[in-house]
């Protein structure tokens, strides 16, 4: 026994004097972001050794080896992710230790969270915080080749460009530290959708506008803005047809169409259009005649009615554009045909939009000839009149009481139209009606009468009225009278004939004689009679003596000489 003890003691003493060896190497068998699992070979297969791991001047507890272990395994926790950690591993026995085996091992880097800072139609701007300066990153988009990102100190800002508008992209970001990679951080981002233009206006009414545009992708929705209204449109059709309702007539609207995708709004596309204006309520006729009419109507009310214009259409004629003055429009329609019914349509126009149109009609009048002149003779009547309004558009029909008609074309005559009726019976009344004719329509006509004259041959009679004989009384003897015969035709005195009649003068009164010249002469004396006496003739022995009346009141006297006494 003593020999054995001595040998054992010699062995211990021999070992005591030797240097304790270090491990030959350390292998990291497993790692996470905060843990490392280390493994090394048992030094000299001596399970009496214990091990001490030092990091950052902090030593771990004793690491022992069990009888069944072939390698030493040790887990280091509470480490910082994505760092290269420096270690020293000591082999120890009886308070003695080796010089220490220095090694390093890396923890897996943490994955970072990415925020989308902004988008355009072709770019997505990304941002994330960088844990360590020596970290790099791999950005992968939709299983494409990863992009290596090495820029940035403490913060990374990266723009993904050359993308398609209005598209959703799926990304993963991996932190790279040496040959280690973090777990991938998945995220998604979308580009701004494109601005879609409204193609056209399908239809318009007074209160609605129907718009059309093309949806480029099924998952696009839209916002339509106008005035202070925002309408959300989610129709699934490729060709979007949308009716904007509740609008005001005759009003311009600016529509702003926004494409919406993944809560991202495109820039606005603007589209200007107009509702149909309302039609005029009514039209008044201010004045009218055979060939023209003056119309008036009130302007259509509206926010933009100062820009309203009006167009009047009739037959194939379209007026120029008319504007309201003080909210009233007046228009003179000329060159109409008398006795014609005209159908008018009045449109309200706003920019290029017309109202449905107010339809109304107007019948032009057909005036009468108001004055006819008749030249009367014994056996004929000549009727003449001035052409109505001095216009060739009128024709005429002259109807005689016996039913005969005579037609006249106005354009074939001058300013005065005349017609002679002959032969007619003297002193006969004739009735006529002169019709104005236009568009094959007669007016109610201008009626008149006339009478042929009588012969001026004959002598008047001074007698009482008997069998168309007129007795004229209380006349002045010896006076000359012009007697005219008039025909009272409908209160119009028509001259028939005239006669110049001289009445027989009165006989002289108080006629007496006196001798004169010793009986060889006479003085014949008298008083001038009542009435007109131009000459008193005294006949003596068939010799006349004329004594002219000088209109004096003196007595008349004639001396006759050369007579024989008692003859």
Average of per-residue pLDDT across 475-485: 71
Cβ atoms 223, 231 nearer than 8 A: yes
DSSP 3-state of 233: strand
Q: Which segment of 78-82, 289-293, 324-328, 466-470 scores lowest on mean pLDDT? A: 466-470
Question: Token pair for residue 115?
Answer: 């925020």
Q: CB neighbours of 76 closer than 8 A, spacing ≥ 6?
A: 35, 36, 37, 38, 53, 55, 60, 85, 87
Question: pLDDT of 45-84, one tens digit each?
Answer: 999 999 999 998 899 889 999 888 889 999 999 999 999 9
Q: Domains, the chain, ranges and CATH? A: 2-106 (2.60.40.10), 115-190 (2.60.40.10), 200-274 (2.60.40.10), 284-363 (2.60.40.10), 373-451 (2.60.40.10), 509-560 (no CATH)
Count of C-beta atoms within a 10 Å radius of residue 517:
13
Three-class HEC string of 349-378: EECCEECCCEEEEEECCCCCCCCCEEEECC
Higher pLDDT, 137 or 302: 137
Tokens 């504007």 belong to 323
Segment 260-283, tens digit of pLDDT = 999 999 999 999 999 999 999 999
pLDDT of residue 547: 65
Q: 18 CB contacts (<8 Å, ≥6 apart)?
A: none
- pLDDT at position 520 is 74
Q: What is the mean pLDDT of the chain?
A: 87
Interacting residues of 551 by C-beta distance below 8 A, sequence separation 6+ = none
Q: Which of 411-420, 516-525, 556-565 has the highest mean pLDDT?
A: 411-420
Closest CA to 391 of 466, 315, 334: 334
Report whether 365 contacts 444 (CB < 8 A).
Answer: no
Contact of 64 with 53, CB cutoff 8 Å: no
Give me 260's structure tokens.
Answer: 């919406």
Residues near 466 by beta carbon (within 8 Å), at least 6 away in sequence: none
Kindly write down the DSSP assignment for every residue of 11-26, as one continuous string.
HHHHHHTSPPPPPS-E
**What is the Cα–Cα distance from 540 to 543, expressed in whole angstroms?**
5
| All residues at 6 or more sequence positions from 533 whose CB lies less than 8 Å from its CB, including other chains | 478, 505, 506, 508, 549
Q: What is the pTM of this model?
A: 0.63
């Amino acid at each position: 026994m003593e020999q054995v003890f001595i040998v054992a003691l010699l062995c211990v003493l021999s070992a005591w004097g030797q240097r304790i060896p270090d491990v030959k190497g350390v292998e990291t068998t497993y790692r996470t972001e905060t843990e490392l699992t280390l493994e090394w070979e048992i030094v000299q297969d001596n399970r009496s050794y214990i091990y001490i791991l030092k990091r950052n001047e902090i030593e771990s507890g004793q690491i022992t080896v069990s009888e069944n272990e072939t390698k030493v395994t040790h887990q280091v926790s509470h480490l910082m992710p994505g760092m290269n950690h420096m270690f020293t591993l000591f082999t120890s026995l009886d308070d003695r230790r080796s010089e220490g085996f220095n090694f390093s091992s890396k923890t897996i880097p943490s994955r970072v969270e990415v925020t989308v800072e902004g988008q355009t139609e072709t770019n997505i701007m990304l941002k994330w915080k960088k844990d360590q300066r020596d970290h790099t990153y791999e950005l992968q988009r939709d299983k494409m080749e990863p992009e290596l990102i090495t820029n940035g100190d403490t913060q990374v800002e990266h723009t993904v460009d050359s993308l398609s508008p209005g598209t959703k992209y799926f990304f993963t970001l991996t932190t790279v530290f040496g040959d280690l990679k973090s777990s991938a951080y998945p995220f998604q981002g979308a580009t701004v959708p494109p601005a879609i233009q409204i193609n056209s206006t399908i239809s318009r009414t007074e209160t609605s506008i129907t718009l059309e545009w093309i949806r480029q992708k099924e998952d696009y929705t839209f916002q339509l803005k106008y005035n202070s209204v925002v309408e959300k449109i989610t129709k699934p059709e490729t060709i979007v047809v949308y009716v904007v309702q509740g609008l005001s007539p005759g009003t311009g609207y600016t529509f702003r169409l926004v494409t919406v995708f993944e809560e991202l709004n495109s820039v606005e596309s603007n589209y200007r259009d107009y509702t149909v204006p309302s039609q005029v309520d009514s039209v008044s006729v201010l004045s009218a005649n055979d060939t023209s009419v003056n119309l008036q109507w009130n302007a259509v009310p509206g926010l933009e009615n100062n820009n309203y214009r009006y167009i009047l259409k009739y037959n194939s004629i379209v007026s120029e554009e008319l504007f309201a003055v003080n909210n009233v429009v007046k228009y003179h329609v000329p060159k109409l045909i008398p006795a014609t019914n005209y159908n008018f349509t009045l449109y309200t126009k706003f920019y290029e939009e017309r109202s449905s149109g107010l339809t109304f009609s107007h019948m032009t009048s057909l005036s009468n000839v108001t004055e006819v002149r008749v030249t009367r003779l014994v056996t004929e009547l000549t009727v003449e009149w001035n052409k109505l309004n001095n216009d060739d558009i009128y024709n005429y029909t002259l109807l005689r009481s016996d039913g005969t008609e005579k037609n006249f074309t106005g354009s074939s005559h001058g300013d005065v139209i005349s017609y002679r009726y002959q032969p007619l019976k003297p002193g006969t009344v004739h009735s006529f009606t002169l019709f104005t004719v236009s568009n094959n329509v007669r007016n109610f006509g201008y009626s008149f009468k006339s009478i042929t004259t009588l012969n001026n041959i004959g002598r008047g009679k001074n007698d009482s009225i008997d069998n168309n004989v007129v007795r004229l009384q209380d006349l002045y003897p010896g006076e000359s009278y012009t007697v005219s015969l008039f025909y009272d035709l409908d209160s119009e005195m028509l001259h028939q004939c005239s006669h110049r009649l001289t009445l027989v003068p009165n006989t002289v009164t108080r006629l007496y004689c006196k001798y004169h010249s010793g009986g060889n002469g006479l003085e014949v004396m008298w008083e001038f009679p009542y009435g007109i006496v131009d000459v008193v003739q005294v006949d003596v022995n068939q010799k006349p003596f004329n004594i002219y009346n000088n209109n004096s009141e003196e007595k008349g006297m004639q001396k006759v000489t050369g007579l024989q006494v008692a003859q």
